[in-house]
Amino acid sequence: MIDDPTEKTAQHAPVYWDLEAKKLGLQLANVGLGSIDFLADTIVLDQMAADILGLPANREMPRAAAHDRIHPEDRPSVDHEITKLQDPKQSDFFEIVHRLAGPDSNARWVKIRKLGRFETVNGTKRLATGYVAIQDITTERRAQRMSELLAQEYRHRAKNIVTMMGVISRVIMATGKPENFIDRLMPRLSLLAQNQDNEGHASGDLEETIRTCIAPFRAGKPAQSLDISGPRIKLSNDQAQTFMLLINELGTNAMKHGAWASQSGAVTVNWDIADDETLHFRWIESGGQDVQAPESVGFGSKILGEYTQIMLGGEVDITYQPTGLAYRVAFPLGARDDATP
């Protein structure tokens, strides 16, 4: 007996339009859906969309509840797209990326696709219903931003190395005899090169990381120019790498135009751990040159601010005091490579 090929094909054909298959596909893509009634000004979200926005699922609620989840700085651009959607002469579809309301240091990003449907009401064509697809793209957005920051960091670091070499040379020339200048300069430059190499091999010990990174910036400085104190902390590799970049930037600034730009300046570095496992780190400069807030946000400021916030998931506070720079960062230690001894 010969099988009917048509019957066999039908039996084994995948069910592309099965409702459960659609739901599974949306879950795999991390996409949630919502149904909008513009006339009643309400919205209903499925479970995925509700989880992304932090709202109840499968329940009619005011559209304002969803709009309140938009980050205040992104709200005008979203409102602009919604206004265009309500115009019958404009496109009935838009796509936009925005942040959700919450702490900027841990902002979540979503991609929104919205489709509208028009009806004629009392002779007037009005936006009546619509659908919205909501996708959490936080991971992708942070990865993209980190790639951009790291590319800028390499360029910024090259400029800083040239500056540091110049400063170290001037300090050594001013604090000894010219005839042995090279002999005193070369060990400092070797230490600077070692510091760059170490950034790819973070030890994880907070104090060791700080002392290693700080060493090149203190050429010719007295011992009292630095005071470090705090409990022993074992950081994760990512946290240690972030601290290497952070300390390198703080040290560069201190040497160029902060506490270590003069012989009388000093830096106090300390940290402690709160009961909730939040590490509070402080870098306080004093006795150096007067410091002022930069007129524009350069890449160094991004390293101290945005980069550190993203990588550590914490909060940063930078104060330009008459006595010197005061830098503070607080972040959850979370899971580390090894427990603190």
Q: How many residues does the chain have?
A: 341
Helix (H) or strand (E) holding 220: none
At residue 114, does pLDDT exceed 60?
yes
Q: How many CB atoms lie within 10 A of CB 174?
A: 9
3 state SS of 316: strand
- Read off the pLDDT of residues 30-84 as tens digits, 9 standing for 90 and up: 789 999 999 999 999 999 999 999 999 999 999 999 999 999 999 999 999 999 9
The owner of tokens 């070369």 is 186
- Please indicate whether residue 105 or residue 150 has the higher confidence score (pLDDT): 150
- Read off the pLDDT of residues 182-222 as tens digits, 9 standing for 90 and up: 776 666 566 556 555 555 455 578 998 898 888 878 766 77
**DSSP string across 41-86:** TEEEE-HHHHHHHT--SSS-EEHHHHHTTB-TTTHHHHHHHHHHHT
The owner of tokens 């902390």 is 233
Residues 23-30 have a mean pLDDT of 70
Residue type, 117: R
**CA nearest 256: which of 295, 300, 322, 213?**
300
- Read off the pLDDT of residues 2-23 as tens digits, 9 standing for 90 and up: 444 444 444 444 545 566 666 6
- Please indicate whether residue 156 or residue 305 has the higher confidence score (pLDDT): 305
Q: How many CB atoms lie within 10 A of CB 231?
A: 12
- Read off the pLDDT of residues 118-174 as tens digits, 9 standing for 90 and up: 998 788 888 999 999 999 998 888 777 777 766 766 666 666 666 656 655 665 666
pLDDT at 51: 92
**CA nearest 167: which of 252, 246, 285, 263?**
252
Q: How many CB atoms lie within 10 A of CB 45?
A: 26
- Cα dihedral across residues 307, 212, 193, 250: positive or negative: positive
pLDDT at 290: 76
At residue 95, does pLDDT exceed 90?
yes
- Read off the pLDDT of residues 267-291 as tens digits, 9 standing for 90 and up: 999 999 998 899 999 999 998 877 7
- Please indicate whether residue 328 or residue 288 has the higher confidence score (pLDDT): 328
- Please indicate whether residue 39 or residue 297 has the higher confidence score (pLDDT): 39
Yes or no: say if 209 and 245 are a contact pair by the CB < 8 Å rule: no
At residue 98, does pLDDT exceed 80?
yes
Domains and CATH numbers, the chain: 17-136 (3.30.450.20), 140-332 (3.30.565.10)
At residue 1, does pLDDT exceed 60?
no
**CA nearest 320: which of 339, 292, 295?**
292
- Which residue(s) pair with 120 in the sheet? 125
Q: How many CB atoms lie within 10 A of CB 22?
A: 12
- Which residue(s) pair with 113 in the sheet? 95, 133
Helix (H) or strand (E) holding 324: strand 324-332
Instruction: Report the alpha-carbon distance of residue 193 to residue 162 in Å, rounded.
Output: 12
Compute CA distances 122 → 38, 42, 125, 126, whole Å. 16, 21, 8, 10
